[in-house]
Amino acid sequence: MFDNGLVVTETMVPVGGIELCVETFGEPGDPALLLIAGAASSMDWWEDEFCRRLAAGGRFVIRYDHRDTGRSTSFPAGAPPYSAVDLAHDALGVLDALGVYSAHLVGLSMGGELAQRIAVERPHRVLSLTLIATGTQPAVAELAASARQPDWSDRRSAVRHIAAAVRGLGGLFTADEQHLRRLAERAYDRTHDMAASQANHRCCAPAPPVRQRLGSITAPTLVLHGTVDPLVPAEHARALAAEIPGARLVPLEGVGHEVPPAAVWAAVIDEVLALPGRHRQAA
């Protein structure tokens, strides 16, 4: 389909014995940019307009539902038969399914941890690296289940809980309650099993740490970190930027632990599009 002149395509792709839902914006001939969401988050939190603006800047933008989120394959809540390593392999599997050899990676929180792993273990697949709201250590608080969980089968209660959680981790520019609820409703309606979506990334087997190998990263790297992030302390972002050769740290004033809000889109998009990275042809 066409959206304001941009080609937007959603499809299901086979990856490692499961199916992942993938959506692309823009022209396949442009350098690919893969958006990797945080734990328990479907692609919906990378907002449509944010993706359109990146695509308008000359990127073939790819967003996808992690397993156990959105329309991707779901497993029983509390019993995920996979590890965080598999989640990283899923990102590469999405690129493989689209015939993309290498891409600019943009990872948020857990997605940033997955992107770090890919940059360390598969450097030839990474044109550049943007790490948002992440650090040198797993976001333990994000991975810990909340003490109070709603009835995930109750749409209204679930949507209210998700919106409140996003707001609680946000900052000065976080979207208003109505906007957050619309995003949460969209994510809820696209998700096979919200209980599994909210639980399984938090209880799947962890991946071996890659911190000792961050010095081997060769991709141009941008670290974006909110100055009021209540989850990942700023010193973790500073350490991350210090340990990756040549990394550039850009504080996002007034931003919390969240997908960049609309108020900072222009600055974030300019920074991401300015990253160098030779475009390699599809395999």
Active centre residues (catalytic) = 109, 229, 257
Residue 139 identity (one-letter amino acid)? A
**SS3 at position 242:** helix
Exposed, middle or buried, 269 (CB in 10 Å: 0-12/13-18/19+)?
middle
Which residues, in sequence order, are CB contacts of 209 under 8 Å at separation 6+?
none
Q: 78 phi and psi, to 5 degrees?
A: 85, 0
User: Cα(18)–Cα(142) distance, rounded to whole angstroms?
Assistant: 25
Where do runs of H (alpha helix) occur along the chain? Answer: 48-56, 84-97, 110-121, 140-143, 155-169, 177-190, 194-203, 234-243, 265-274
Are the beta carbons of 261 and 170 closer than 8 angstroms? yes
Residue 1 identity (one-letter amino acid)? M
End-to-end CA distance of the chain: 25
